[in-house]
Amino acid sequence: MASRAVITARQERLGAELRKLRERAGLTLRAAARALGISESKLSSTEAGRVGVSAERVQHLASQYACHDATFVSALVAMATEPKGGWWEGYRGKVPSGYLDLAELEHHAKHLTNFECVHIPGLLQTGDQVRAIFGASVPKLSEEQLETRVEFRLRRQQALEGMRYAAVIHEAALRIRVADRKVAREQLLQILERQVNVRVVPFDVDGFAGVVDPVVYAGGPVAQLDTVLVDSQHGSAFLDAEAQLARYREVLHKVEAAALGVVESRELIRRLAQDF
């Protein structure tokens, strides 16, 4: 099978999971390749996501690595046999590749939990809100780049259909005006119109420290395939190590514990919209 010209984060994840299975079995790359009857370079390329892998090969690898978790193996097989490309591939070369990986993650997630301290979550933003955010980019985007990114972000919101989604938003993000009062008010009203679980961390809560960067926790078909996306000024990172997942589950637990209930949160959002 020919090497891929582009490797997505999801393809890398499948390869990484196969590598983890090998390492848990106590096999070196050389020993595993010999047992499987393939070259080390082919196995290495498979684990790096550089080449595809068939359902039969995934099952064979799992058997060789003594993985008896049938549900997990089935999830890996499903990843390996997914149809190539989704709607986001039409934007390759037009938006940063990390945006495509995020859209693919959202598309396949069984549930999403999102925390934002400064911005309204992207899946809940209005077109004018998105345009104002990208309009402030440094360096400045061309008009074509700007409109493409707005279009892409709004299309991502289709992932909300039929998926369990929960957002925890700090009151600061609700009050920040990235454009003007009209855009801010329309943004808050749209959040109220959406049939999603939104909770707010108010300014007057005590002991809320150390949680600033945006976090997206995406639930996979099995817990082993959960993924955390963390955004920072230096870019985005996809995390999937067991210790990392456990850490961010605890982070989100603390955030949720500090937030108002759904009803109280909606009332706060409604009052803020009236103030604008």
Q: According to the model, what pLDDT value does residue 71 have?
A: 97
Three-class SS of 211-272 = CCCCEEEEECCCHHHCEEEEEECCEEEEECCHHHHHHHHHHHHHHHHHCCCHHHHHHHHHHH
Domain boundary among 80, 112, 134: 80
3-state DSSP assignment of residue 34 = helix
What's the token pair of residue 204?
Answer: 């007057």
2 within domain boundaries: no
Q: According to the model, what pLDDT value does residue 117 have?
A: 94
Per residue of the chain (276 residues), what is the pLDDT tens digit? 678 889 999 999 999 999 999 999 999 999 999 999 999 999 999 999 999 999 999 999 999 999 999 999 999 999 999 988 899 999 999 999 999 999 999 999 999 999 999 999 999 999 999 999 999 999 999 999 999 999 999 999 999 998 999 999 999 999 999 999 999 999 999 999 998 999 999 999 998 887 778 999 999 999 999 999 998 767 789 999 999 999 999 999 999 999 999 999 999 999 999 998
4 within domain boundaries: no
CA distance 149 to 110: 25
Which residues are CB-contacts of 226 (< 8 A; sequence separation ≥ 6)?
217, 218, 219, 220, 240, 245
Domain boundary among 80, 97, 116: 80
Give the dihedral sign, CA 203/209/212/213.
Answer: negative
Query: CATH number, domain at 107?
Result: 3.30.870
Q: According to the model, what pLDDT value does residue 236 have?
A: 83
Strands 111-116 and 164-170: parallel
Residues 101 and 140 in one domain: yes
163 within domain boundaries: yes
R_g (Cα) of the chain, nearest Å:
21
Q: According to the model, what pLDDT value does residue 19 have?
A: 97
Residues 239 and 177 in one domain: yes
Q: According to the model, what pLDDT value does residue 94 have?
A: 97
Residues 91 and 74 in one domain: no
List b or e across 256-273, with b for residues whose CB sees 16 or more CB atoms inside 10 angstroms: eebbbeeeebbebbeebb
- Overall pTM surpassing 0.85 (yes/no): yes
Residues 72 and 102 in one domain: no
Domain boundary among 48, 80, 112: 80
**What residues make up the domain containing 26?**
9-80
Q: How many domains does the chain have?
A: 2
Which residues are CB-contacts of 212 (< 8 A; sequence separation ≥ 6)?
117, 118
